[in-house]
Amino acid sequence: MLFLQVWNAILSVCCNIFHWLLSLWPLGQRIPQGKASSPGVHVAIRLARHRDYNAVMRISEALLYGTDYLRAKFHSFIDAPDVTVFLAEVGHKVVAVKASKIVDSGTVSITKASRVAPEWREQGIDRKMTLYLDQWIRKNRPRVKYKRSVTYANGRRAETLRKRMRHVFSVPFIVNHCGPSLWWRQDPAQLAQLDTPGLPDVVPLQTADDDFCTALQKWLPSEACAGYHGKPIILIERDPYILCPANLNRLQARAHNALYTLKHKGEWSLSVVDTYPAQCGRMLSLDIYAKDFLTLQKHLLKHLHDASIRFRREHICTRVFVGLSEWKDQVQNFCGEVLQMDASHLPYSEMGVFECEL
């Protein structure tokens, strides 16, 4: 009798140890493909906190070819009153993150970030988070009527979005990089010899008004007015905003944003610059909306000069969004042949803007 009691106790301990070891095994490896929402697999969604940083970084490592901004901006997203960040967990392990920002006077929700751990992709978690976030916004932000999302126009995510949202327009971009030993990095003043005579200086935008926005609209893609509002949408730092004085002035007031302009022969232009540390080095993100290539080049040289002075010893990676697609090849040729920057041969060359009713 005593022997049986001891034997049962040993079996019980062994079973407990077995289940404990099983719980340590990565859950994603023992869930069949496409079964993330099946019975027995609980996906918990909750608001993110500052202390979730390391878990989120493990998801975003090597994403977006080393240009991901989430590493630099996660904490500011948590603190921002107009940004909401949710995490998905399976077995207390963070497997996905999705952030949303409320813009355009509280009427639009835009997706700021959407990341899923590699071993948990194609298992329905992103879709589940999207539905959860939509429901949360309807309940907590009742003024929101539309939502927008931006992604690589020819990527797999774009294929998914086209089934649920309307593609409004796409904007081309060019990515290049260079080290601190390049000739103009050693002496940024040499960039002045590439300047175009007769063009005024690129200066900080003071105040945007209706006339400025009307003039700038001409340098946006023609489809930019095809959204539900019927108003032009401008892409700034991959975020789609209605082009209006209130939005531009609000962006200019943000600490990490800098809006610059140049007026020549009655025509306005705009560039927006943002810098942040990334895996690729110092990321320099530029949005440039201009009438012609020489004006666009003037903006580009201004920001390359300033970045070279501020980050003299850092590797710089530039991502330039151009409002008009006809300038894309010229920008690439100028960066490669004249500035001698190395091209980042990404499989994507356009960002697509998608929109739907919430």
The yes-or-no verdict on residue 66 having pLDDT over 80 is no
Average pLDDT on 293-305 reads 96
Write out pLDDT tens, residues 128-155: 999 999 999 999 999 999 999 999 988 8
Write out pLDDT tens, residues 194-212: 998 889 999 999 989 999 9
- pLDDT for res 12: 41
CA-closest candidate to residue 355, choices 126, 180, 111: 111
- pLDDT for res 63: 67
Q: Can you tell me the distance from the alpha carbon of 339 to that of 184, in angstroms, rounded to the nearest whole number?
A: 8
How many percent of the chain have pLDDT more than 70? 87
The yes-or-no verdict on residue 265 having pLDDT over 70 is yes
Tokens of 74: 């996660």
- Residue predicted with more confidence, 247 or 64: 247
The yes-or-no verdict on residue 92 having pLDDT over 90 is no
Average pLDDT on 311-317 reads 95
- pLDDT for res 144: 96
- pLDDT for res 62: 61
Q: What's the first-to-final CA gap in the chain, in angstroms?
A: 67
The yes-or-no verdict on residue 28 having pLDDT over 50 is no
The yes-or-no verdict on residue 19 having pLDDT over 60 is no
**What is the dihedral sign for C-alpha 328, 332, 338, 341?**
positive
How many percent of the chain have pLDDT more than 90? 68
CA-closest candidate to residue 200, choices 302, 114, 101: 302
Instruction: For residue 13, name the pLDDT band (cuts at 50, 70, 90).
Output: very low
> Among 29-33, 40-44, 244-248, whose mean pLDDT is lowest?
29-33
- What are the residues facing 357 on neighbouring strands? 146
Average pLDDT on 58-72 reads 78
- pLDDT for res 162: 93
The yes-or-no verdict on residue 110 having pLDDT over 60 is yes
Q: What is the dihedral of CA 131, 133, 134, 137, to 10 degrees?
A: 160
- pLDDT for res 256: 63
- pLDDT for res 60: 78
